[in-house]
Structure 1
Amino acid sequence: MFHINEFRGFEMNLSKDVRLLASKQGASLRDVEKLKNVFPLIPDDYVSLSLEKTEMEFEAKSGQYFRIWGPKGCIEMNEAYMFTKYIPGAIPFGDDGGGRTFLFMNGASGEGVYLVGNGNIDPEEAVHICGSLADLLENGAGIDSISY
């Protein structure tokens, strides 16, 4: 069973290279429990962030927009695109608005955040962005990899 105190609060100390444009209220504990039932290995930083805010839209320093979905969106997009069928263990959690999806996965560069095109969901095609969601948002790690 999920317990909220398992997770540290996600400090929204965004990198100067990332700007939050919009968001909705945090997910319910029930939504997070459903997510953890589908994806037991969902990273703690995502869980903590989703309890604070969902459906976040960001702008990278390049002007590229990207989104981080709430728990319901992660489940729905996995059902629609079958990411876990093509990349076992992958967890979809956002998109760049241009046909690419952010995944938590263990790929060629190790565990971390990857970006893959929705038209070719293949672990060999996934591009490693950075080590964690917190690293992307707080440090701007890999932010240049998001641009087209």
Structure 2
Amino acid sequence: MRAAPVVDGAIAGAVGTTVLNVVTYLDMAVRGRPASSTPEQTAGKLADAAHVHLGPEAKAPNRRSGLGAVIGYGTGVAAGALFGLLAARRRIPLPVAVGLLGGGVMATSDGSIAALRISDPRTWGKADWLSDLVPHLAYGAAAAATWRRLRPPSRRG
């Protein structure tokens, strides 16, 4: 018996998230750029908004770092699950699926950091946008390809 489309979508999202991270780390290695502090800042702002104390100042940065990564994985897996729900009974062309998945996760991430006033994407330069776009397109391509592999047309529905 096949897993539910939402589960297959979540699996596709997890694969996409792994690829997004690999592409991001390769970019850091090739260009020698530092890791982004955005995930930690997001975790900190969300913890503050939820009135969650992250512990003594010696441990709070580590907790923000860990929670930032978990939020990223959660976003990628949730986006894949949502895609699975939407795509379960229809054939979505691969380029459209890549755009929906990659663009959806990018819009969610960038919208969140803008709403939390961590960064303003309107002020980003070309290199900033490429550093954001390329890993999200890789996410979309990997998630869409995994979805297709898990749910070939003969097994959908």
Same fold (TM over 0.5): no
Higher helix share: 2
Higher strand share: 1
Q: TM-score scaled to structure 2, two decimals?
A: 0.23
Q: Which has the higher relative contact order, 1 or 2, with Cα contacts under 8 A spaced 6 or more apart?
A: 2
Q: Which has the larger radius of gyration?
A: 2
Q: TM-score scaled to structure 1, two decimals?
A: 0.24
